[in-house]
Amino acid sequence: MDGSLINLVLSPKQDTFLAFVLGFIIVHEVSYVGGSLFLATIDYFDLCPESKIQKGKYPDKKTIRNCLAVLALNHLVLQPLLLPLIYKAAVLRGMRMNLPLPSLLEVITHVAASLFIYETLFYWGHRAMHHPLLYSRFHKLHHRFYVPVGFSAEYFHPVDNLISNVIPLIAGPLLLGSHMITFWVYTIVRVAEALDSHCGYDFWWSPFRYFPFRPSAEVHDFHHSANTGNYGGMMLIWDWLCGTDAAYKRFLAKKRSN
C-alpha cells in the first residue's frame, strides 16, 4: 500500500466508519477465502499426503455443502450486521483510525497481547460450548467435521460464532485501543492460524509450529477427531494449566509407543 493510498484511507477527512467496516470485510474475506482455496487445492490434488494427519480421511460432500451455506450466512449476513456495532465499540474504546500509523513495535506488542486475550476468551467460551446444555444446541454443528478442513474454521452456529469467534477476536484490539491497521494485521494472523489449525495437515513449514504450547495442527485436529480436551485455539496454555490436555497427552504417548 503506497503512501497516497494510506493518506486517502486514513485521512481525518474520510469517513472512518466505511474505512473500518469495508477494510475489515476485505481483510477478513481475502485472508479467509484465499487461504481456504489454497488449502482446498492441496486437498483436491493430494499435494501433501505425507503431512496429512488423518490419512485418507476427508469430510463427505453433504457436510461440505452445509458448511458453505452456514459460512455464507455468517460472512454475508451476520458480519455486516455486527460490524457497525463493533465500530461503535471501537470508537468508544478510542481505537485510532487515522494517521499517524502505529510503530512496528506497537503493532507487534498489540498483536501479541491480543492473541493472548483471544486465547483466554476462546478457551473458556469454547469449553463452555462443550457443556451438555450448550453443545447439542450450538457447538455440535462445528463438530460435524470429524476430519477438519481449512474452510471449516468458521463453521459455527451464529450463537457459537459470537461466543467462540467474534468476541474473542475483537476483545484484544478494543481493550488495548489498538490502531485500525493493527487490528487488520492481527485479524490476518488469527485467520491464518485458524485455517492452519483446521486444515488437517501438519505442515513442516507452518510458522505456527513455533508458537508456545502449540507443536502442530494436530493439537486441534485431535479435538475434532476425539471430541474431548484441547479447548484452546492457537496454544495449549490454558489446557495445560487446567489439565484439559490429558486425553491428548495419552494419545501422544500411545502414538510414540507404537
150-190 confidence digits (pLDDT tens):
999 999 999 999 999 999 999 999 999 999 999 999 999 99
Average pLDDT over residues 139-159: 97
Cβ partners under 8 Å of residue 254, min gap 6:
none
Is it the case that residue 79 has pLDDT exceeding 70? yes
Q: Cβ distance 20 to 87 under 8 Å?
A: yes
Cα dihedral 10, 13, 19, 20 in deg (nearest 10): 90
pLDDT for the residue numbered 1:
46
Question: Cell for 11?
Answer: 485521512
Query: Could you give the CA distance from residue 97 to residue 10 in angstroms, rounded to a whole number?
Result: 6
Q: Which residues pair with 52 in a beta bridge?
A: 201
pLDDT for the residue numbered 4:
55
∠ Cα 31 150 153 (to 5°): 80
Q: Cβ distance 9 to 19 under 8 Å?
A: yes
- Name the residue among 21, 200, 212, 29 with its Cα closest to residue 115: 212
Average pLDDT over residues 224-248: 92
Query: Could you give the CA distance from residue 78 to residue 73 in angstroms, rounded to a whole number?
Result: 6
Q: Cβ distance 32 to 169 under 8 Å?
A: no
Average pLDDT over residues 238-248: 94
- Name the residue among 210, 211, 249, 212 with its Cα closest to residue 229: 249
Q: In whole angstroms, how large is the CA radius of gyration of the chain?
A: 19
- Name the residue among 206, 212, 214 with its Cα closest to residue 248: 214
Q: Cβ distance 230 to 239 under 8 Å?
A: yes
Domain boundaries, the chain: 12-257
Cβ partners under 8 Å of residue 15, min gap 6:
none
Query: Could you give the CA distance from residue 26 to residue 178 in angstroms, rounded to a whole number?
Result: 19
pLDDT for the residue numbered 8:
47
Query: Could you give the CA distance from residue 8 to residue 159 in angstroms, rounded to a whole number?
Result: 36
pLDDT for the residue numbered 131:
97
Is it the case that residue 5 has pLDDT exceeding 90? no
